[in-house]
Amino acid sequence: MSAYPPVKVGLLGLGTVGGGVTRVLARNAEEISRRAGREIAITHAAARNLDTTTANTGGMKLTGEALEVVDDPEVSIIVELMGGYEPARSLVLRALANGKHVVTANKALIARHGNEIFAAARANGVMVGFEAAVAGGIPIIKAIREGLAGNRIEWVAGIINGTGNFIMTEMRDKGRDFPDVLAEAQALGYAEADPTFDVEGIDAAHKLTILASIAFGIPLQFDKVYIEGISRITREDVAYAEELGYRIKHLGIAWRDQHGAQLRVHPTLIPQRQLLASVNGVMNAVLVQGDAVGQTLYYGAGAGADPTASAVVADIVDVVRTLTADPDNRVPHLAFQPDALSDLPVLPIEEVETAYYLRLQALDRPGVLADVTRILADRGISIEAILQKEPLPGASDAQIILLTYEVKERWMNEAIAAIEALDSIHAPVTRIRLEHLGLE
């Protein structure tokens, strides 16, 4: 079919995703080669545990030493599926120095070291594909970078961690507590034994760093993302939000205006009729607001062997299509030409304006609500809705739930400190940010 010989690919990592890549390439070999214009063959692979892999390794040269694959002159494309920062970073930079193209599913690597890696790729005239690093099988990188290239992207908001979304869904649907659902997520294999990256928002922050960069044309800046997890959300918060017409989702939000960019990951109340509110279980979804197109939603499996392999193989096909192309005319890694990236500042969370959900545990006596509303009013904070829940039998504390209009986080911090200083308030104030995402 092609005048060109098969393109030889080397895999680093033969775990869940590596196994998926071998199976998808084998199953769809003819269709993939028709799209790419050349046959694609995985000829080399490295893994720490070659005995336990479920990958389709027939016809591959296998090794326990990744450097052997990276340095093999036969290999044209290195697919890095090891995860983590090192040795992945060193191996990717070595592959690029060797003149090999790289495809990776490693969001932590791109978020932390992408600027360095992309510069090395340009210096060596090669490409780095990273579609699988964000939202698994959803082609969100390509959609923003190419499909929406005619738009000024105003904001991106996404459910980009399936573990966190599974936990929030179970808490809402079944009225369960966070620790209970987390234990089930671990038993089902959705959460790691150490779930910190998922439930505290670090994994989502890696992905948001990448989305913000390609959406706004700014360098990757993981260290400037505000990160807050879901471990302090209670089933009561979930129920009260529902009563007020909202759902709590763990969102990554990238927003820009005349003041700068916002990069934040935190639990967020969103209206029940917002499309993202209906994304349940381990699924991912990303909502993108462009000035010309309006809102577009990208939904699908954010993890798993075959969905992630789908994105990896698509990147391999992209690389193969450009093997004979002029390096200066490829799609830029971060969507914008490297010398045209913006120095738009990333705002600290104190400067961000958003609405809020506040839950207070208050002594059930006259005047408490008046004290609270005075503190808010003194800082220009307007209240949109109030729920007051009577004390349970035998208890002396009532629950007060407030929804506020938009205000700068700095003023809300001051207000919360003043409220917590009242002798009638008996516990830290629960604060969850609220976003309408285009719906009022």
Amino acid at 2: S
- For the domain made up of 140-301, give the CATH fold: Dihydrodipicolinate Reductase; domain 2 (3.30.360)
Choose which CATH entry (3.40.50.2020, 3.30.70.260, 3.40.1160.10, 3.90.1150.10) describes domain 349-434.
3.30.70.260
Q: What is the mean pLDDT of each run of 10 residues along the chain (440 residues)?
A: 81 91 92 90 89 77 94 96 94 97 96 96 94 92 95 97 93 93 88 89 96 96 97 94 96 94 97 95 95 96 88 92 73 82 93 96 88 95 92 80 96 97 92 90
CA atoms of 329 and 317, how far apart (whole Å): 17
- Per-residue model confidence (pLDDT) at position 418: 96
The DSSP result for 339-371, as a single string, is GG---PPBPPGGG-EEEEEEEEEEESSTTHHHH
- Per-residue model confidence (pLDDT) at position 424: 92
The DSSP result for 66-109, as a single string, is HHHHHT-TT--EEEE---SSTTHHHHHHHHHHTT-EEEE--HHH
CA atoms of 51 and 272, how far apart (whole Å): 48
CA distances from 73 to 17, 31, 64 (A): 25, 27, 18
Q: Return all residues near 145 (Cβ < 8 A) that are at least 6 apart.
A: 214, 331, 332, 334, 335
CATH 3.30.360.10 location in the chain: 140-301
- Per-residue model confidence (pLDDT) at position 59: 84
Q: Return all residues near 141 (Cβ < 8 A) that are at least 6 apart.
A: 130, 131, 133, 134, 210, 214
What tokens were used for 241? 């939000």
207 is catalytic: yes
Which numeric CATH code is attached to 7-137+305-337? 3.40.50.720
Tokens 């007051």 sit at which residue? Answer: 388
Which residue is catalytic, options 207, 224, 249, 389? 207
What tokens were used for 104? 């990776």
What tokens were used for 313? 């193989």
Tokens 């104190």 sit at which residue? Answer: 350
- Per-residue model confidence (pLDDT) at position 57: 78
CATH 3.30.70.260 location in the chain: 349-434
- Per-residue model confidence (pLDDT) at position 389: 84
CA atoms of 410 and 338, how far apart (whole Å): 35
CATH 3.40.50.720 location in the chain: 7-137+305-337
The DSSP result for 157-186, as a single string, is EEE--HHHHHHHHHHHHH---HHHHHHHHH
**Of 121, 16, 132, 8, the residue nearest 75 (C-alpha):** 8
| Nearest-10 crossing angle of helices 162-174, 178-187 | 130
CA atoms of 167 and 54, how far apart (whole Å): 29
Contact between 180 and 235 (Cβ < 8 Å): no
Strands 128-129 and 101-104: parallel
